Structure formats: C-alpha cells, structure tokens
Structure 1
Amino acid sequence: MIDQNAVHGAPSVERAQPPAASRRGEGASLVRGHIATIAGFVASGLAPEPEAAAPWRFRVPGGPYGAATLTGLYSPAFPSPPAGSRDLVILVHGMGGDERSAYLRPATAALRAQGLSVLRLGQRGSSRDPEDLHHAGLWEDIAAVLSGDPTVARHDRAFVVGFSMGGHVALHLAATGHPRLAAVVSICSPLYLDRAVSHMDRRESLVYRRHVLSGLKRMYREVARRRPMPVPPPVVDRSETLREWDRLTVVRRFGFRDPAAYYEAQGAGRILRSLVTPALLLYSRQDPMVPPATLAGVEAREGLSWPGRVVWMDGGGHIALPRRLDLGLGPAVPRAPYAQIAAWLRRHEAAGRAS
C-alpha cells in the first residue's frame, strides 16, 4: 500500500479500499462505522487507567489569548525507555473531551508499550478548574508547551497525536514549523469546519452531537464560575446544535463575525498547502462523524504540501482504529495500529534537534 512518493517526501493520498459501489454497500458501510465507533467507545471506557500516570500542569504565560493553566497526565515509557530513546508523544483530545477522555487510555498504553513516553494534554478550558475556552484552531497553547515545559524539554523528540478536533489543532501546529515538533498524526479530524458542523447538526447525528455538546456545556459552566462570560450558561445550555454553540460561545469569546467566519478562518483545510512538519492524516471511510463527504478536496494531491500524507483506513469508525493498519513500513513492523503509528513517528527528526 506504500506510495514511493511518500517515502521520498512528496505528498501522498492513499486508498485502502474503493468507494462503495452501490447504495446498499454504502448503507452497510455506514452501519459498520456506527458499530465500530460505539464499540470503540465502550471498549475504551472499560480500559484501565495506565499505571504511573502523574498529574501535569503548565502555565501558558500569555500570547494572543492571554495566560491560562493547562493540565494533563504524564506517563513515562513502559517499562522504561529503550536505550537511546527519549521520545515523547503529546496526545490531544477531541471536542468536548479532556485529558481523561476514555479513548486516550488505550492509546497511552499502546504507545508506552512501543517505548514512548506520553503526555495527555488537556486543551484550554478542559481542566477541572478552567479559566478560558479553546477553539478549533488554537495551536498557540501547544506551541507554548513545546517551547517552555520542563517535561517536554527532558525528551529528545516530541510528537503530537490529535484525535478528531484535537487532530485539527495538531494540523495547525504542523503549519507553524515549530523547531521542537518532529511530526504529527491527525486521527479522524475534520478539515472543512462548515461541512463537518452541518453534518453533525443533522438529525441522524443526534446521539453523537448530544455527547459532544454535553462536554462542551460542562466546560462552559465551569469557566463561567471563574470569569465573566458574554452569554449566561443557562442560555448556552439550551443550544441544541454545534453551530448554535459556536455562535453563543466561540464567536463571542474570540471576536469572529459569525460561525461561518470562524469556520472559514480556522478550518484546517485551508492550511494543507502550508504544512511544514510531517503530518499523517488517518481517515476511515466508515466514519459516521467525519465521513468522506465532509472531506471532499483532501484527495487532490495539489492541495497537500509535501510533508503531508493522507491514508484511508479499511474499517474502524470515528477515532476507532481498525485492528490492522499498514503504512507501508515493511514486514518488521507489526500491523497493530499504534505500532505502525509509533514507527512512522520515529522516522522523523525535529528541526531543532536535527543532527
């Protein structure tokens, strides 16, 4: 499945399977995606918390959005980093989540088993004592962590793996060329926010939308207890769509004209040509929350700069990886998804640590 252009640096878009050939096939594919997504959510919820997870805190000193305290969980490589390996993966949760989101637990365990240390980073607003909100393009906080956090500084290389909207933020970071960032992986992330929100606001996405909104509303209520907010929490609690949530919260807090202007300004699709750091974008054709229809355009090679690589997975659902993944890294790398991801990450060296 490997594209030789990807090995030598050219942009790559790969298909693990052809589009469904019939309406019946499309329906079956959608059902499989729902099942995989829900099963993944349940399995992640049953997964034990990785041992040796230590609380982590970092104070963002300022920047365009002001100071804020970020929280997270740090887990060193298990049982210990291999000789000569001091690599760190920063995991970034999706919309409405936090550093304790269930899907981060199996990811942490799998990456630690590959000899990588893991920092589960909570975005601005997701901590237990939040001071502010974040938005879909707010990469500056992660950049501050890469530049100033002592835990990150102890590691030779730093990578970022983002899930759903966390992957969207990671792609923004990959366009900045941060010298401490070696590579990013974006898992099931939206690219064109207006399309993604329209899809999630459909009646058919009600269950997923309510799950996401419950986390967002909880975050807003906690922030409102600590600082004045432009819209009272009871009003925000009545919002039933993501577009309405954005209109009442993100737009007002960050000064966008309206949701459409926010989506246009912050959508990662517009920065695909500007990627500087190597970026792997993983998508499932069965994803019920970020389906291929919302990503139309990403398959155009001319829309992706050379460090970018898109891989369509056969199976899985939304942030539910299939049992097997082949990134074309050779027979020595196990086909387990995080073994493949870890091996892909380790092929890259940060600009600030290049030999």
Structure 2
Amino acid sequence: MNYEAPAWLCGGHAQTIWPALFARSTFGPAPRYRRERWDAPDGDFVDVDFLQGGEAGPPRPLLVLFHGLEGSSRSHYALGFADVARERGWDFAVPHFRGCSGEINRAPRAYHSGDHEEIAWLLVRLVQRQRAPDGTRAPLWAVGVSLGGNALLRWAGEWGAAAAASVDAVAAICAPLDLAAGGQAIGRGFNRQVYTRMFLRTMVPKALAKLAQYPGLFDRAALLAARDLHGFDDVFTAPLHGFRDADDYWRRASAKPLLPQVRVPALALNARNDPFVPAASLPRPGQVGRHVTLWQPDHGGHVGFAQGAWPGHVRGLPDTVAQWLVAQSAHG
C-alpha cells in the first residue's frame, strides 16, 4: 500500500482541510440513505443510515462505517465509502453516535472515543441482518474513522477472539489511538484556533441542550469556560460516561494499549503528517499483535488522502481500504 499527495496539495493542514471541503467524494451520484431508528439497550435510540438501492434477495456483503467526532453519514469520507459500496454491490450502513444524527438523544449521555459497548451491540444487531435462513452470514466489514476508529479498535481489543463472530475484518482510519497525545496536539497553536473551535462550535450547543433535558447534569459556567477539548471533556464527556476527569478518560479509552489483544484482521492507517495525531504517538510494530497491520504513509493529513488533478477526489482511500478488507476475507 502506498500514497503520494498531489503536488498541488502540500502539508498536513492542507491535506486535511481541502479534501473535507472541496475535493470530490464520489464518482457517481450522491448516495441516498434510508434511516432506521433503533432502540438502544438503555432506552435511548440510535439512528442508522442504510444506503438505498440493491436488489432484494440473500444478504449481501455489508460495510459498516463508524464516523468521527461530530461526523455523520454525510461526512466526506462516509460518502466516499458509500460510493465504493454501491459500486461493488455491497450494503452500507452508518450508525450515528448519540446526538450526531440531527436530533438530540434521550439519555443523560452522549458518545465518546472508547465507546466499545456501543460498537458491540450495534454490530451484534447488524450481524443478525446478515444471516441467511441456513444460518450462514454474508461478509461484514467495519471501518472506523478518527474517533470511530479508536472506538472500533478498542472493541476489537476488548472482545479478542470473540470479535470474529461479528466481523470478518476491521479498519481504523486516522484514529487517535493515544487520546492524550491527540488531545494535546489539537489543543495547541493553529490546531486550537481552527480545529478545536470548529468542534466546540457544535459540541457546546449539544451539551447545553443536554443540560436543558437534565438540569444539574454538569456545571454550565465551567462548560462555557472551556477553550479546548480537554476542558470540554473534563466537564462533559468524562463525567457523563463514567470517567473521573479528562485525563482518566483519555487514558482508559485509548485503543493503543489493547492492540496486542486484537484477534481479527485489523488495519490501523495513520498519516504521519496528521495534525491531530502526532507521529511519535503512533504504534510501532512491536506494540501490536500479528493480526494488526500498520500503514503509516508520510502524507495524507487527517482523513484526507486526496488524489488526482485539482480539485482532487477522496475515492482512492475507501477503494484501497475496501480492497484490503476483501483480501482478509479471502485469506480466511
């Protein structure tokens, strides 16, 4: 596997921002989705978007995508993977983390980078859809992007060999596998002024809406005083999901320490010039088990990997990941 950035797109920031805003996500028409609302085990709900189209009949291979922080089925990378699935004749699903589907969720919680319990029940339910009357199931591959990638690999590490009952292979794209390193990086300099502000612009209103649902859930003044993700996670994300504080959350939710426990084929793809994920924090071959493949190209930015002539496209990444996932099933 190899990736070279176009000559006209230089540097990690450009390779992050341009693909998300301007590069082409699909080669075909914009994907259309059909939404299902699933009741969660805790009485909340999760909205799952399924790619429309496909012929009725036996279950087809299913590609599941877990989106990144404040992402959705409309994120540029989700559209790219949807296009690849449609081209290959696969089904495609994007489960939205709580509060990311356009409607506030019911429970006094949101979502977080180590939410492997959420991944678990969603995959179990998706597997049930894949089973034919004779008990066999069509292939199921799971991809996680950024936050979703860390949560997915966290799940794979927690479940070990049992994960094979749900997936044939998994891939994590630009996941901050060391959350403390990623959190510190995004809280400094240009990152703080651009990316942190972008995330807080949607995260803070969602948190305040949650406070209106559950008065007294957290300190409103402390939340409004937060100027980076550490401050936000300290007030909101960590205590709502059972962590002592942001540092405890970042330590316990990181997938990197669990990579030796992964027992299904897993791809961990990280560009070494990712502004969110310092290259020094990336796992080395001796820090993962034999089931984990590390791909760490020098360029690509954060979930960028644009290709082609200006203005470029982002279809190369999902195509490459899809080929890798299929190859793992063939080897199995």
With normalisation by structure 2, the TM-score equals 0.82
Q: Retained in 1: the 8 A contact 2:3–2:300?
A: no
3-state SS of 1:91 partner = strand
Q: Retained in 2: the 8 A contact 1:174–1:278?
A: no
- Report the counterpart of residue 67 of structure 1 in structure 2: 43
Q: Does 1:35 align with 2:14?
A: yes
Offset, 1:216: 2.0
Describe the superposition over 1:125-158 as per-residue Cα deviations: whole angstroms up to 9, x where unpaired.
3231313211111111121122234645576122
Q: Distance in 1 between matches of 2:14 and 2:221?
A: 34
Describe the superposition over 1:205-253 as per-residue Cα deviations: whole angstroms up to 9, x where unpaired.
1201111222322332333343345214454233111110110012221
- Report the counterpart of residue 220 of structure 1 in structure 2: 207
Amino acid at match of 2:176: P
- Report the counterpart of residue 332 of structure 1 in structure 2: none
Q: Does 1:181 align with 2:157?
A: no
- Report the counterpart of residue 304 of structure 2 in structure 1: 320
Aligned-residue sequence identity (percent) comes to: 25
What aligned pairs does 1:41-120 form with structure 2 within 5 A after superposition?
41-43=20-22, 50-61=30-41, 66-76=42-52, 86-120=60-94
3-state SS of 1:231 partner = coil
Offset, 1:45: 8.5
Deviates more, 1:315-324 or 1:241-250: 315-324
- Report the counterpart of residue 138 of structure 2 in structure 1: 156
Offset, 1:307: 0.8
Offset, 1:46: 7.8
Q: Distance in 2 between matches of 1:229 and 1:159?
A: 41
Q: Distance in 2 between matches of 1:121 and 1:218?
A: 22
Unaligned runs of 5+ in 1: 2-14, 18-27, 325-334
Offset, 1:261: 1.6
Q: Does 1:172 align with 2:154?
A: yes
CA change 1:257–1:153 in 2 (3 A) is same
Amino acid at match of 2:185: H
- Report the counterpart of residue 304 of structure 1 in structure 2: 288
Describe the superposition over 1:307-337 as per-residue Cα deviations: whole angstroms up to 9, x where unpaired.
100112253211012438xxxxxxxxxx933
CA change 1:313–1:142 in 2 (3 A) is same
Identify which of 110, 128, 141 aligns with 1:133: 110
CA RMSD of aligned residues (A): 3.1
- Report the counterpart of residue 271 of structure 2 in structure 1: 284
CA change 1:248–1:126 in 2 (3 A) is same
Matched length: 309
CA change 1:46–1:171 in 2 (3 A) is closer
Q: Retained in 2: the 8 A contact 1:163–1:188?
A: yes
Identify which of 205, 211, 218 aligns with 2:198: 211
Q: Distance in 2 between matches of 1:200 and 1:42?
A: 19
CA change 1:153–1:244 in 2 (3 A) is farther
Describe the superposition over 1:65-118 as per-residue Cα deviations: whole angstroms up to 9, x where unpaired.
x33211121005x6659x987111111111122333343222211232122211
Q: Retained in 2: the 8 A contact 1:97–1:215?
A: no
Q: Distance in 1 between matches of 2:216 and 2:327?
A: 44
- Report the counterpart of residue 119 of structure 2 in structure 1: 142
Q: Retained in 2: the 8 A contact 1:284–1:317?
A: yes
- Report the counterpart of residue 218 of structure 2 in structure 1: 231
CA change 1:218–1:181 in 2 (3 A) is farther
Q: Distance in 2 between matches of 1:57 and 1:229?
A: 28
- Report the counterpart of residue 312 of structure 2 in structure 1: none
- Report the counterpart of residue 5 of structure 1 in structure 2: none
Q: Retained in 2: the 8 A contact 1:162–1:169?
A: yes
Amino acid at match of 2:153: L
Q: Distance in 1 between matches of 2:243 and 2:304?
A: 33
Q: Distance in 2 between matches of 1:69 and 1:49?
A: 30
- Report the counterpart of residue 198 of structure 1 in structure 2: 184
Q: Retained in 1: the 8 A contact 2:19–2:306?
A: no
3-state SS of 1:73 partner = strand
Amino acid at match of 2:38: F
Amino acid at match of 2:186: M
With normalisation by structure 1, the TM-score equals 0.77
